[in-house]
Amino acid sequence: MEPKKTVLIVEDEQFLIDLYRKAFSQRGFTVLETIDGAEGLEKANANTLIDIILLDIMLPEMDGISVLRKLKESESPAKNIPIFMLTNLGQESVIKEALRIGADGYILKSKYLPNQIVDEVEKFLNDRKK
């Protein structure tokens, strides 16, 4: 049996975290979560067994772009963990910057149901294994 995958969700809207946690848990993922960027950075650097990070752009304490920059620094223990940015419409320039910094992809929150987000993450992780 394949080991459980672990996802870290950094999202400031608790109801979205709840929806995402349920969708990922139903597919066998271990879910770590936080509602602010600074804590997300701490959790990512403290747990190198994370398979992927879902990182909102608009966050309290430290925004998602700042968290992404810190995670991609050469001394970060989490620098090789793939990161998908969670975005809203109208953030195209921020998305381009995130991809330039090292994000592996992005998900437009308004266009995806929680199960579809899990589908995207599973597809990405499976493609990486090949």
List, for residues 66-125, the tens digit of each pLDDT value. 999 999 999 999 999 999 999 987 778 999 999 999 999 999 999 999 999 999 999 999
123: nearest Cα among 69, 82, 72, 75: 82
| DSSP codes of every residue in 79-98 | TTS-EEEEE-TT-HHHHHHH
Q: Which residues pair with 54 in a beta bridge?
A: 9, 84
Mean pLDDT of the chain: 94
Contact 52, 85 (CB under 8 A): no
pTM for the predicted model, two decimal places: 0.95
- CB within 8 A of 108, min separation 6: which ones? 87, 88, 89
